[in-house]
Structure 1
Amino acid sequence: MNATNFQRVQTRCRIQNGLAVNLEIWNLGLALMWKDEMDVTIQSYSKHHINSIINMRRTSNIRVTGYYGHANPNEKSSTWDMLQRVGAAVNEEWVVGGDFNAMLNNAEKEGGVGSWVVHMG
């Protein structure tokens, strides 16, 4: 997702806080947006993940990780390794979502390029 597209989405959603990471292929990427009243801290990010902690104030924190796994079979282990490193540091409830590109074979594939959204608050 390029910066212009991300700003357009932010404007439509009326949400100014966020982070977008471009995958540099197919004009895709990861994005995390949140409302002003939410206390979100980005812990780490790369072109394959956005790792954040959300302070829930009245309850414990929640970790939210957006993930995009390598489509190239030769590079899949590197993104799984990254997810394991993030998981090793998790001390709170953890939500992980995204495109894991974890198909065992092409017979499992349905549809084409898609997207996902986690809406909180």
Structure 2
Amino acid sequence: MSLLVWNCRGLGNPLTVNQLADLVWVKDPSVVFIAETWTDKARLEQVKRRIQFKNLFEVPRRNKVGGLALFWKEDFNLNVETFSPNHIDTTINKNTPEEWRFTGFYGEPDTQKRHESWDKLRVLKNRRASPWLCAGDFNEITHQSEKSGGRTRPHSQMQLFRDALDDCSFIDLGYVGFPYTWHKHFADYTIFERLDRGLATAEWFTRFREQKSTI
């Protein structure tokens, strides 16, 4: 079993949809979480058919931006529990000994409102005690080493994120390959940051330590 988590920054471009379909073909995930869909339900239904998945849950975009989508296979036992413009929270194998949680997360892009995302994580932590995996684009870094170029990130801003991760008892699942997941080019420099990550509780990590999530 694997999961694919991706901030696609818009599914309106057919090339982006083809790229997603290629990833699904290579990784063969049971669940696909997409952040920043920038599109509507009709287009997401087309994407669902293109990647040959049975189920779709959508959180609509806001003013042509944002938007979340969760796709999962027909035979995969998944229940959507709660959602918001920043998350889709699910239970896998609900009410069985194999129960666990997956939350697709998109951190608030507005720095002034980012604390609301961390409060949301704390609320989600208390919803259910099952082993928990949370993955997505958090729009924040934990240490200055996760950023290259541009201005130094304020320590207090990163500390708020680290505090939320500690309060949720999360373990960072790490990464393989290039250390940054987002970049922006300017006239004379480029900023790179690691904004996307997978986080899990110790209970989840123990159960699935031999398996990997694709982010």
Show CA shifts across 1:53-98 (max 9, x none): 0107975211000011111111101111111100112311111111
Q: What's the secondary structure of 1:91's corresponding residue? A: coil
The answer to which of 7-16 and 57-66 deviates more is 57-66
Q: 2:47 aligns with which of 3, 9, 23?
A: 9
Runs (4+) off by over 3 Å: 25-28, 56-59, 103-110
Describe the shift of the 1:25–1:13 C-alpha distance in structure 2 as closer, same or farther (beyond 3 A): same
Instruction: State the Cα RMSD in Å.
Output: 3.0
Deviation at 1:31, TM superposition (A): 1.4
2: CA distance, partners of 1:56 / 1:89 = 14
Q: 2:106 matched to 1:68?
A: yes
Which of 32, 56, 72 matches 1:18? 56
CA contact (8 A) 2:78 2:93 kept: yes
Does 1:91 pair with 2:129? yes
Which residue identity does 2:98 align to in structure 1?
A: S
Unaligned segments of structure 1, at least 5 residues: none
Change (3 A) 1:70 1:95: same
- 2:183 counterpart SS class: coil
What is the alpha-carbon distance in structure 2 between the residues aligned to residue 27 and residue 19 of structure 1? Answer: 17
1:1-121 equivalence runs, <5 A: 1=37, 2-25=40-63, 27-55=65-93, 59-103=97-141, 107=150, 110-112=182-184
Q: Distance in 1 between matches of 2:138 and 2:196?
A: 12
C-alpha contact 2:45 2:56 (8 A) present in aligned 1 = no
Question: Match for 2:183: what amino acid?
Answer: G
Q: 5+ unaligned residues in a row in structure 2: which ranges?
A: 1-36, 154-179, 185-194, 198-212
Computing the radius of gyration from Cα coordinates, the structure with the larger value is 2
Q: Give, in angstroms, the shift of residue 24 of structure 1.
A: 1.4
Q: Note the alpha carbon deviations across 1:14-73, whole angstroms, 9 max, x for none.
A: 112120113315543221111111111111001100000010797521100001111111
Relative to the length of structure 1, the TM-score reads: 0.79
TM-score, scaled relative to structure 2: 0.47
Secondary structure of the equivalent of 2:108?
Answer: coil
Identity level (%): 24
Using the alignment, how far apart are the partners of 2:81 and 2:47 within structure 1?
A: 23
Residues 87 and 106 of structure 2 are in contact (CA less than 8 Å); yes or no, is this contact kept in structure 1? yes
CA gap of 1:44–1:30, structure 2 versus 1, over 3 A, is same
